[in-house]
């Protein structure tokens, strides 16, 4: 057994319908594929209709289960109402939402226009609010104990330079998650959780955040105690667990999956890893000589 293998053997989502934003690429596609393998009716939605249709057919050919593809921009409230209507028509109900769609780019902040901020905050924060509110109202009206999982990042709480719009937006999504986990958890048994991934190589993220010229300067795995980047299946395994009824007592939580990256770079003395054993021997003998 290893972390690149699917974790669940039984179809834990056999009676569930799960909607994944940004489900046509990267981590969203990996989760959609795994949830479908686990028996879920899956809806994938993002802006590129051709890609969505192609990916839905590809997933169905692997799993044998129906995948609905509906194009919509998460910033457009009418469009997401249509996604929800089409999903209900196809599957009768929706049990869970994965807020995975995102927009991001790297830039010194002083070079950004206000529209650049609006774009990323609109996709990541307002888009997450749009879907969470629309499905929350539907769950409350129909007395369904819904389940929301949002994909954030570790810089939602550390902050970071050079992707400041994304940091602001992801911090907002974390606040939304913790706030509604309490408000809607108590009143309606609706659970909300988040996953904070470290680096997972996807085309969408790598093209925008680690372009070829930058890649030569920074190796993301160097910053990580486990000295590797993430594998899509291990994130999908965690997402499946959090979306399943096995995680019924987990609410308002953010689970970090980053090989220890953010703690290593936050801990004051962690750079002492560069001190060799010989130098530690010298330091120890100096200490013993003094005492
Ligand atoms: C500076 C930029 C820019 C860039 C766009 N803008 N790209 N500014 N640097 N690289 C500015 C534009 O000039 C414009 O402002 C404003 O942003 C809106 O641009 P549009 O092209 O109209 O935006 P839109 O069509 O809404 O596209 C959204 C996008 C794009 C975010 C800009 O990159 C996108 O579609 N991304 C989707 C997928 C994605 O980003 N995936 C990565 C997620 S990875 P002006 O003033 O000129 O009008 C991730 C990982 C985090 O989040 C952690 C990793 C470890
Ligand atoms: P990705 O493939 O670029 O995924 C982003 C998805 O969001 C795309 O499918 C994109 O599809 C969709 N999207 C963007 N804008 C949209 C909009 N306005 N409306 C609807 N859909 C939209 O990148 P990824 O790496 O898989 O990222 C997935 C999630 O993981 C994101 O939330 C990201 O912040 C998070 N994350 C990733 C990493 C990593 O290392 N990869 C690390 C931490 C967090 P369209 O362009 O077709 O709309």
Taking only the tens place, the pLDDT of each residue in 163-212 is 999 999 999 999 999 999 999 999 999 999 999 999 999 999 999 998 88
Per-residue model confidence (pLDDT) at position 218: 84
Residues whose CB falls within 8 Å of the CB of residue 228, separated by 6 or more in sequence, listed in order? 221, 259
Could you tell me if 195 and 257 are in contact, meaning their C-beta atoms sit under 8 angstroms apart? yes
| Ligand 2 near 256 CB (within 6 A) | no
Which of 28, 74, 99, 103 is the pocket-test mutation for ligand 1 (most atoms within 8 Å of CB)? 103
Instruction: Give the count of domains, the chain.
Output: 1
> Mean of the pLDDT values across residues 128-139?
98
Residue 244 belongs to a domain with what CATH number? 3.40.50.720
Residue 12 in any domain: the answer is no
Residue 8 in any domain: the answer is no
| Ligand 1 near 202 CB (within 6 A) | no
| Ligand 2 near 252 CB (within 6 A) | no
Residue 7 in any domain: the answer is no
> Mean of the pLDDT values across residues 248-254?
98
The confidence band for 67, taking pLDDT boundaries of 50, 70 and 90, is very high
Compute CA distances 233 → 7, 113, 283, whole Å.
9, 37, 44
> Mean of the pLDDT values across residues 8-37?
97
| Ligand 1 near 114 CB (within 6 A) | no
| Ligand 1 near 43 CB (within 6 A) | no
The confidence band for 86, taking pLDDT boundaries of 50, 70 and 90, is very high
Half-sphere exposure of 199 (CA within 13 A, CB side): 21
Residues whose CB falls within 8 Å of the CB of residue 263, separated by 6 or more in sequence, listed in order? 270
Length of the chain: 291
Residue 4 in any domain: the answer is no
Query: Which ligand has its closest atom nearest to the C-alpha of 230?
Result: 2
Residue 10 in any domain: the answer is no
Does position 15 have pLDDT exceeding 80, yes or no? yes
Q: Ligand 1 centre and the CA of 106: distance in Å?
A: 9
Mean pLDDT for all residues in the chain: 97
Compute CA distances 274 → 101, 263, 279, whole Å.
38, 17, 10
Does position 219 have pLDDT exceeding 90, yes or no? no
Which range of residues forms the domain containing residue 218? 17-290
Per-residue model confidence (pLDDT) at position 211: 85
Nearest Cα residue to atom 7 of ligand 2: 101
- pLDDT digit string (tens) for 140-176? 999 999 999 999 999 999 999 999 999 999 999 999 9
Q: Ligand 1 centre and the CA of 169: distance in Å?
A: 13
Q: Ligand 1 centre and the CA of 117: distance in Å?
A: 9
CA proximity to 238, closest of 182, 196, 268 = 196
| Ligand 2 near 28 CB (within 6 A) | yes
Residue position matching structure tokens 């974390």: 174
Compute CA distances 190 → 75, 241, 243, 275, whole Å.
23, 16, 12, 49
The catalytic site residues sit at 155
Closest ligand 1 atom to Cα of 170? 52
Residue 11 in any domain: the answer is no
Residue 156 in any domain: the answer is yes
> Mean of the pLDDT values across residues 125-135?
98
Does position 42 have pLDDT exceeding 80, yes or no? yes
What tokens does 89 get? 């028509």
How many whole angstroms separate alpha carbon 185 and alpha carbon 141?
Answer: 15
Does position 49 have pLDDT exceeding 90, yes or no? yes
Residue 33 in any domain: the answer is yes
């Amino acid at each position: 057994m290893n972390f690149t293998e699917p974790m669940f053997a039984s179809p834990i989502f056999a009676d569930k319908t799960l909607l994944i934003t940004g489900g046509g690429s990267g981590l969203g596609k990996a989760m959609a594929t795994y949830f479908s393998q686990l028996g879920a009716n899956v809806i994938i939605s993002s802006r590129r209709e051709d890609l969505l249709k192609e990916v839905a057919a590809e997933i169905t050919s692997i799993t044998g289960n129906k995948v609905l593809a509906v194009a919509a921009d998460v910033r457009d409230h009418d469009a997401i109402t249509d996604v929800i209507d089409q999903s209900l028509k196809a599957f009768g109900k929706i049990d869970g939402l994965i807020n995975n769609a995102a927009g991001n780019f790297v830039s010194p902040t002083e070079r950004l226009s206000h529209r650049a901020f609006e774009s990323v905050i609109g996709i990541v924060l307002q888009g997450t609010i749009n879907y969470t509110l629309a499905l929350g109202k539907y769950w409350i009206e129909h007395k369904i104990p819904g389940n929301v999982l949002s994909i954030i990042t570790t810089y939602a709480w550390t902050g970071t330079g050079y992707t400041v719009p994304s940091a602001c937006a992801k911090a907002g999504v974390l606040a939304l998650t913790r706030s509604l986990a309490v408000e809607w958890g108590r009143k309606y048994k609706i659970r909300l959780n988040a996953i904070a991934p470290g680096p997972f190589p996807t085309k969408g993220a790598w093209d925008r955040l680690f372009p070829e010229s930058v890649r030569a300067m920074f190796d993301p795995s160097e910053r990580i105690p486990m000295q590797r980047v993430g594998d899509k299946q291990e994130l999908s395994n965690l997402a499946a667990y959090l979306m399943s009824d096995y995680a019924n007592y987990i609410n308002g939580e953010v689970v970090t999956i980053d090989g220890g990256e953010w703690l290593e770079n936050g801990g004051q003395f962690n750079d002492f890893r560069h001190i060799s054993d010989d130098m530690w021997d010298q330091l120890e003998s100096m200490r013993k000589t003094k005492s």
